Amino acid sequence: MRAIVLGAGVVGFDVAKLLSHAEHDVVVIDSDPEALAYVSDKLDVMTVCGNGTSTAVLEEAGIRQARIMIAVTAIDEVNIIACMLADRLGVETTVARVRSGELSNTKAVLNAEDFGIDLVIHPEESASEEIVRLIRRAGATDVVMLADDRLHLVGLRLDSDSPVIGKTLREVVFGESSIRFRVMAITRGIRTILPNGDERFRKDDQVFVLSRPKSVPPILELFGKSDRRIENIMILGGTDIGAKVAYRLSQEKHKSIKLIEDDRQRAEQLAEMLGSVLVIHGDDTDIDLLITEGLSDMDAFIAVTDSEESNLVTCLLAKHLTVRKTVALLSKGAYIPISQSIGLDAAVNKKLSVSREIMRFLRGKHVKSVATVHGMDAEILEFEAAPRSMITSDILMNLKLPAGVLVGAVSSGKDVEIATGLTRIEAGTSAFVFVMPGQIAKVESLFAAP
């Protein structure tokens, strides 16, 4: 499949890498020759230097043979126009990264369909939603919603005093028969493990648990994590993400929000927009300012400036001052794996929201949704079982699923069931499956019609 990626920035590079690794024919377009040189040096893709809103440039990239166009430049208008041209030139699927919420506004004069855009991605919106979920789940390092919010995948980092340290998965599950959950993955160092019942929990394990939302509090308690309510919050950075997070959290009861922004004009705008939020103008790298404004008294510290290094350093300072929950906005691949090992509670990555949506278009027709979690190699795929497919032939424990594959839950209509060895997947129902790299084709064949 030919795929055209417009934009060779951080997000464009990540999307091109994703498509290239899936062995697609990828062409990257950008007007910056240096950015294209970097892409060409690191990835097995073709590049075209030029304006993505030019029909001639799109023709040079082979737009008429392309099945998908992904426009992820920093300029909304360029992404919209490029997708509109691609649609007119016969591209089957168009995806646009749009920071403005205008196209998704139900009262907007024009919507995405009017421009021939099949999917509008809002990375900043997705990142702000994830941060808010993390603050609501104080003891979690990751929260991913599945099955229309009927399932939560919660990430937990095991502290040295966790009561499950040294126990096997089987011992923990059998000891808590009143809670329905499934441990789907364990990240240990740089390894991702899809565990069996004999796997023992270790200090610093990153454990991913699948359950219904109402079961999350007792699960956090089971693993020795506090889910005590967070009330006092400091946000560093008045970026779009910082403003969205501040607004959403300020709408909740018993929350006091401070936001620090280093641009005076932006700080004044935010002060008018966010009436109940205390907006402070000050240098976001000024450690003394953060301490003076009461950092040590905060329940949570959220760093979402445009400087990832500043986000890391200030979060580490907050942990040193015993702030209970720290969240940093990161996107560089080198930072994300080490963020929690050096003390951060959670890292949020804008690129993931783009990757998740793109993967949905690349999978087979039986895949209904895709989710990923930074630091975990496995993908979470929602498959619909076709009639007479192999997955419907017996209960899970008798199917001998390939190594690196674990079924977490089954959904039928409004009913969601945490999977066990006795679960049987019926035709037409959906299953949420954790799949390690290299095993996706095998799983697709299990759910496909013979």
What digits encode the pLDDT tens for the residues 323-364? 999 999 987 766 666 676 677 788 888 776 666 666 666 655
The predicted structure's pLDDT at residue 207:
93
| Residues in a beta bridge with 379 | 435
Q: What is the mean pLDDT of residues 276-297?
A: 93
Out of 17-21, 195-199, 260-264, the most confident range is: 260-264
Give the strand order in the sheet containing 119-121: 46-49, 25-30, 2-6, 66-71, 93-97, 119-121
φ/ψ of 225, rounded to 5, equals: -110, 140
Closest CA to 142 of 151, 153, 132: 153
Q: Rounded distance, CA 378 to CA 210, Å?
A: 14
Go through 286-303 and write b for each residue having 16 or more CB atoms within 10 A of its CB, e for each that does not: eeebbeebebeebbbbbb
- pLDDT digit string, tens, across residues 395-440: 999 998 888 899 999 998 778 899 988 999 999 999 999 888 778 8
107, pLDDT greater than 60: no
In this structure, are strands 206-211 and 151-157 parallel, antiparallel, or unpaired? Answer: antiparallel
So what's the pLDDT on residue 138? Answer: 77
- The number of angstroms, rounded, from the C-alpha of 55 to the middle of its chain's C-alpha atoms is 33
pTM beyond 0.85, yes or no = no
> Residue range 180-197: average pLDDT?
87
Q: Which residue has the tokens 């699960």?
A: 219
Taken as a whole, the chain contains a residue count of 450
Q: What is the mean pLDDT of residues 316-329?
A: 92
- In this predicted structure, which of 132-136, 138-142, 192-196, 220-224 has the lowest mean pLDDT? 138-142
Task: Give the chain's mean pLDDT.
Answer: 87
Q: How far apart are CA 157 and CA 296, in angstroms?
A: 22
252 pLDDT above the threshold of 70: yes
Phi and psi based region of residue 215 (left: phi greater than 0; alpha: psi -120 to 50; beta: remaining): alpha
Confidence class for position 272, pLDDT limits 50, 70, 90: very high
Given this model, what pLDDT does residue 361 score?
60
Give the residue-averaged pLDDT of 244-271: 94
| pLDDT recorded at residue 182 | 92
DSSP 43: S
Q: Does the pLDDT at position 227 exceed 70?
A: no
Which of 14-18, 28-32, 415-419 bottoms out in mean pLDDT, i.e. has the lowest? 14-18
Angle CA 206–333–21, to nearest 5 = 100
The structure tokens listed for 139 are 């003891």
SS3 7: coil
What is the mean pLDDT of the segment spanning 5-21? 87
- Amino acid letter, residue 232: N
Domains of the chain, start order = 2-121 (3.40.50.720), 139-222 (3.30.70.1450), 232-352 (3.40.50.720), 378-447 (3.30.70.1450)
Of 239-243, 377-381, 430-434, the range with the lowest mean pLDDT is: 377-381
**183-197, 299-313, 386-400: range with lowest mean pLDDT:** 183-197
Give the residue-averaged pLDDT of 288-292: 94
Residue burial 327-355, b: 16+ Cβ < 10 Å; e: rest:
bbbbbeeebbeebbeeebbbbbbbbbbbb
pLDDT band at 369 (very low <50, low <70, confident <90, very high): low
The set of residues, in sequence order, having a beta carbon less than 8 Å from that of 189 and lying 6+ positions away, is none
Instruction: Examine the pLDDT at 293 and tell me if it is beyond 50.
Output: yes
DSSP state of 200: B
User: Cα(first)–Cα(last) distance of the chain, in Å?
Assistant: 24
- Alpha-helix residue ranges (DSSP H) falling in 251-403: 264-273, 287-292, 308-320, 336-339, 350-362
DSSP codes joined into one string, 60-91: HTTGGGEEEEEE--S-HHHHHHHHHHHHHTT-
| Residue pair 218/287 in contact by the 8 Å Cβ criterion | no
